Amino acid sequence: MEKLESFRQLIVWQKSHQLVLNIYRITKEFPKAEIFGLISQMRRAAVSVPANIVEGFKKRGIRDKINFYNIAQASLEELRYYLILSKDLGYLVQSEDLDKLADEISKMLTRMIINLDT
């Protein structure tokens, strides 16, 4: 297995970055009244996922890496709630693709943490 030189090589980062782009795209269609509410919260949570993956990637200590990957997991779960809320409020018609992508990212982060923790 080759050593990764950049976080950009991490598939989990690539997928989480795509999730951020999708969240920005869909929240453009939300009501303007949500700009400082739900839109801001969703974007912040979404951006936190790849940002924490990047920070964890560069950390040297295993505990530090695990901590940042766990923060990414928590932000992803927060985003999942916002997707549910957005759908229930009628701002988002379907979220199956986003849910599927979030599931993939979650499983990848879990595997990364388990691999580091063993």
Burial of 16 (0-12, 13-18, 19+ CB in 10 A): buried
User: Looking at domain 7-117, does it have CATH number 1.20.1440.60?
Assistant: yes
- pLDDT at residue 81 is higher than 90: yes
pTM comes to 0.94
Contact assessment for residue 23 and residue 79, using Cβ atoms and an 8 Å cutoff: yes
In tens, the pLDDT along 53-77 reads 999 999 999 999 999 999 999 999 9
- The token pair that represents 58 in the structure block: 């560069």
Torsion angle in degrees (nearest 10) through CA of 6, 11, 17, 22:
160
